[in-house]
Amino acid sequence: MGLRLGDTAPNFKAVTTIGEIDFYDYTEGSWVVLFSHPADYTPVCTTELGRTAQLKSEFEKRNVKVLAVSVDPIDSHHGWVNDINETQNCEVDFPLIADPDRHVSELYDMIHPNASATATVRSVFVIGPDRKIKLTLTYPASTGRNFNEILRVIDSLQLTADYSVATPADWNHGEDVIVVPAIQTEDIPAKFPKGHKVIKPYLRTTPQPNI
């Protein structure tokens, strides 16, 4: 059975494009995006890794470390990174994990036999500083990942980890949020002094509390 939300993300040691790392040591105290690629020198993944590199400052300001994994060996990774930097006008400086023995891929259930018996599917894991899995996404090979959505989800996860709120459909940073049902309506003003709206007894909104 694969990893589920709330499970502890397994630790591992791996050879990467920035050297050998211990996953827990490398990501200590940070949020993490771990995402997999079926193979090196694939066109959609080339654009994804380039986009990730272009968004470096966005991940950094959210205290997020990004790691990518592919089952190809490290020499192949280094060559692919050169191509990514050239074609996507970027500088890939986050770790690309070499996983030829499929240790990491199997640890995170990234190989789905109905899709491929040997290559990883295109999974995304968002992991909190507590090492718990907060989000999982799996994309088909033909559809590039939406990194604006990944950043949006991280914004929501970080906000809702600190405040008794949830985020509505299509929410973006700076918009109103939902007060969780566990808070009584009469207690909202003390907890959320910016004000609130009661749309229905179970649907109460308030301005985003951390801005």
Quick one: which H or E segment has residue 149? helix 147-162
Q: How far is CA 71 from CA 44, 75, 138, in A?
A: 16, 12, 17
Give 118's pLDDT tier (boundaries 50, 70, 90): low
pTM: 0.93
pLDDT at position 115: 57
For residue 59, give the DSSP letter. H
Within this chain, do residues 114 and 201 fall inside the same structural domain, yes or no? no
**90 is known as an active-site residue:** no
Number of domains present in the structure of the chain: 2
Residue 35 pLDDT grade (very low, low, confident, very high; cuts 50, 70, 90): very high
Give the pLDDT score at 141: 79
Mean pLDDT of 185-193: 96
Which H or E run includes 187? Answer: none
Q: Are residues 36 and 136 in the same domain?
A: yes
Q: Answer yes or no: is 1 within a domain.
A: no
At 123-158, the pLDDT tens digits run 999 999 999 999 999 988 789 999 999 999 999 999
Between CA 95 and CA 86 the distance in angstroms is 18
124 vs 113 pLDDT, higher one = 124
C-alpha dist (Å) from residue 100 to 15, 75, 83, 189:
10, 11, 20, 55
Does residue 183 share a domain with residue 107?
Answer: no
Q: What is the CATH number of the domain that holds 79?
A: 3.40.30.10
Task: Please tell me which residue in 14, 34, 45, 111 is annotated as part of the active site.
Answer: 45
